[in-house]
């Protein structure tokens, strides 16, 4: 399970250095093979390859009425590999789609990560926290 937040900067070539605490797990469970794709909330999702394959199978089973969503996830998916120093290349197309310039936030979300433009995340988080807490949390104990 991936969790926690890491503030990271892309280098001039668009490479992201995966935090050290996640590298060994990613190497063990996916041999450093990852898949990046778009998320409907404006960030990117980064899956270890075995988790991506499970997600992809679920998408493939969706009916034709979900075809545009299948295109959103599958049509934008890019397979990447961590290099010897734990970096992955985020394609220009995916960086543009998520509005990522340089400063990012990598969030562990259980079986995958979300990669956000840092300023976008901070804006959306502030807006979300100003609103009402969703009903599913009304009986949740903190």
User: How far is residue 18 from each of residues 5, 30, 113, measured CA to CA in Å?
Assistant: 12, 14, 11
Q: Are 38 and 115 in contact (CB under 8 A)?
A: no
Domains of the chain: 2-131 (3.40.1550.20)
Average pLDDT for residues 76-93, to the nearest whole number? 97
* Cα gap 49→34, rounded to integer Å: 5
pLDDT digits (tens, 9 = 90+) for 87-113: 999 999 999 999 999 999 999 999 999
Supply 79's token pair. 């397979």
pLDDT digits (tens, 9 = 90+) for 32-61: 999 999 999 999 999 999 999 999 999 999
Q: Are 49 and 33 in contact (CB under 8 A)?
A: yes
Supply 125's token pair. 């988080």
* Cα gap 122→124, rounded to integer Å: 6
pLDDT digits (tens, 9 = 90+) for 107-141: 999 999 999 999 999 999 999 999 888 888 888 88
User: How far is residue 4 from each of residues 19, 48, 91, 107, 113, measured CA to CA in Å?
Assistant: 11, 16, 24, 6, 10
Give the model's pLDDT for residue 140. 86
């Amino acid at each position: 399970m991936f969790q926690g937040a890491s503030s990271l900067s892309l280098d001039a070539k668009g490479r992201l250095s995966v935090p050290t605490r996640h590298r060994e797990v990613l190497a063990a469970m996916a041999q450093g093979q990852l898949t990046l794709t778009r998320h409907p909330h404006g960030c990117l999702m980064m899956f270890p390859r075995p988790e991506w394959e499970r997600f992809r199978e679920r998408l493939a089973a969706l009916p034709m009425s979900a075809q545009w969503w299948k295109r959103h996830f599958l049509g934008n998916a890019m397979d990447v590999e961590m290099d010897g120093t734990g970096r992955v290349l985020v394609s220009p197309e995916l960086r543009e789609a998520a509005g990522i310039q340089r400063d990012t936030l990598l969030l562990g979300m259980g079986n995958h990560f979300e990669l956000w433009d840092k300023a976008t995340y901070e804006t959306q988080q502030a807006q979300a926290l100003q609103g009402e807490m969703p009903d599913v949390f009304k009986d949740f104990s903190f």
